[in-house]
């Protein structure tokens, strides 16, 4: 197979010999927005991330295989992929561990008021805070119980939390106390001390957490979004936070990225903002290599 591999796979060059030994030909391009280094008709498969945001997928007439370095499919025209019988794989499971650690860390930062203590440290000010909270015994609702959601469930459970999952295909899973269909979400949101969003972005999940559903959460709730920005109604979230109807938010993804400089979220003390960075971890390279090596051997 003729493979176009992009710099989205940072360790790609380390695997070239292995891929070529399987009989595949390789052309490499570092930046996906650049001009293609080969004729698009040559390409039969690609290992990439956002390649089709810069080059129309229908410009590759012989494309039959896509391996993404991302966990989601939202940067690819899935209707086109399915209608043309293109085999597609994601990097499912590669980033789940660092993302789950990030979610837990963010909630603990809010519960333990780390911003308050950091500001005092910088000011050389000795001042106690009597409003620290315990994670133990809290109810955590995880929307999207795939690999990322399940790694989150394991970690919150280890802190003594009650973990309830909501998923499009509920199942029995020891990481969760229970798992319900997503259409039953309204019934469990009023009990959520922490709401973690790890669901993929699809037509069905866009604005899944809207103004109405945000209003179902208790005032003490913290919301964590490590899925995609459009899963959450950002303007409604800002309204709820500004009105004191939510305790805080941990946000790694946004409706528009980068987050606009004038967004009110930047100045809210009860909001943690990171630039779509929760997936980063030193084990990702090895995990991604293992995933791609396994799949490419089956092509």
| pLDDT tens digit sequence for 99-149 | 999 999 999 999 999 999 999 999 999 999 999 999 999 999 999 999 999
In contact, 69 and 9? CB cutoff 8 Å: yes
Within 13 A of 149's CA, how many CA atoms are on the CB side?
25
Helix crossing, 96-111 with 147-158: angle to 10°? 40
- The rounded mean pLDDT for the chain is 97
264 φ/ψ angles, rounded to the nearest 5 degrees? -60, -20
Catalytic residue among 75, 115, 162, 276: 276
Return the number of other C-beta atoms located less than 10 Å from residue 279's C-beta: 19
Within 13 A of 119's CA, how many CA atoms are on the CB side?
8
> What is the DSSP secondary structure assignment for residue 98, as one 8-state letter?
H
* Among candidate residues 49, 32, 47, 75, the one with its CA nearest the CA of residue 200: 75
> What is the DSSP secondary structure assignment for residue 102, as one 8-state letter?
H
Are residues 100 and 25 located together in one domain of the fold?
no
Annotation marks residue 119 as catalytic: no
> What is the DSSP secondary structure assignment for residue 227, as one 8-state letter?
S
* pLDDT score recorded for residue 21: 97
The model's pTM is 0.94
Annotation marks residue 13 as catalytic: no
Domain count, the chain: 2
Are residues 21 and 102 located together in one domain of the fold?
no
* Among candidate residues 22, 23, 66, 58, the one with its CA nearest the CA of residue 41: 58
pLDDT > 90 fraction of the chain, expressed in percent and rounded: 100
Confidence label for 4 from pLDDT (cuts 50, 70 and 90): very high
Are residues 223 and 133 located together in one domain of the fold?
yes
Are residues 73 and 117 located together in one domain of the fold?
no
pLDDT > 70 fraction of the chain, expressed in percent and rounded: 100
Confidence label for 205 from pLDDT (cuts 50, 70 and 90): very high
Confidence label for 228 from pLDDT (cuts 50, 70 and 90): very high
Are residues 262 and 135 located together in one domain of the fold?
yes
For residue 9, what are its two tokens?
């796979």
Are residues 46 and 178 located together in one domain of the fold?
no
Confidence label for 171 from pLDDT (cuts 50, 70 and 90): very high
pLDDT tens digits along 188-198: 999 999 999 99
Annotation marks residue 276 as catalytic: yes
Q: Is 251 helix (H, G, I), strand (E, B) or coil?
A: strand
Domain of 146 in residue numbering reads as 96-273
Catalytic residue among 257, 260, 286, 290: 257
Catalytic residue among 151, 228, 234, 255: 228
> What is the DSSP secondary structure assignment for residue 166, as one 8-state letter?
E
Beta bridge partners, 273, equal 251
**CATH code of 236's domain:** 3.40.50.720
Confidence label for 214 from pLDDT (cuts 50, 70 and 90): very high
* pLDDT score recorded for residue 139: 98
Beta bridge partners, 66, equal 46, 88
* pLDDT score recorded for residue 19: 97
For residue 248, what are its two tokens?
């805080």
For residue 159, what are the CA distances in angstroms to 26, 76, 155, 252? Answer: 47, 37, 7, 22
* pLDDT score recorded for residue 157: 98
* pLDDT score recorded for residue 217: 98
110 φ/ψ angles, rounded to the nearest 5 degrees? -75, -45
Q: What would the mean pLDDT of 21-50 be, rounded to a whole number?
A: 98
Are residues 89 and 101 located together in one domain of the fold?
no
Are residues 87 and 128 located together in one domain of the fold?
no
């Amino acid at each position: 197979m003729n493979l176009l591999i992009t710099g989205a796979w940072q360790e790609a060059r380390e695997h070239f010999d292995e891929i070529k030994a399987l009989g595949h030909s390789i052309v490499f391009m570092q930046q996906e927005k650049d001009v293609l280094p080969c004729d698009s008709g040559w390409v039969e498969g690609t290992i990439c991330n956002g390649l089709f945001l810069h080059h129309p997928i229908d410009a590759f007439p012989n494309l039959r295989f896509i391996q993404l370095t991302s966990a989601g499919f939202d940067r690819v025209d899935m209707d086109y992929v399915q209608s043309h019988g293109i085999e597609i794989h994601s990097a499912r499971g590669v980033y789940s561990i660092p993302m789950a650690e990030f979610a837990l860390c963010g909630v603990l930062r809010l519960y333990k008021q780390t911003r308050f203590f950091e500001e005092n440290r910088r000011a050389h000010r000795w001042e106690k805070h009597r409003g620290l909270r315990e994670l133990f015994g809290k109810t955590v609702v995880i929307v999207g119980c795939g690999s990322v959601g399940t790694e989150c469930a394991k970690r919150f459970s280890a802190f003594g939390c009650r973990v309830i999952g909501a998923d499009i295909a509920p199942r029995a899973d020891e990481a969760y106390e229970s798992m319900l269909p997503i259409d039953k979400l309204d019934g469990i949101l009023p009990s959520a001390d922490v709401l973690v969003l790890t669901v993929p972005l699809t037509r069905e999940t866009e604005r899944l957490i809207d103004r109405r559903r945000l209003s179902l959460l208790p005032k003490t709730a913290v919301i964590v979004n490590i899925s995609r920005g459009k899963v959450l109604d950002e303007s409604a979230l800002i309204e709820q936070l500004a009105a004191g109807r939510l305790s805080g938010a941990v946000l790694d993804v946004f409706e528009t990225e980068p987050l606009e400089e004038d967004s009110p979220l930047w100045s809210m003390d009860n909001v943690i903002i990171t630039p779509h960075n929760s997936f980063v971890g030193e084990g990702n390279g090895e995990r991604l290599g293992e995933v791609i090596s396994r799949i490419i051997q089956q092509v």
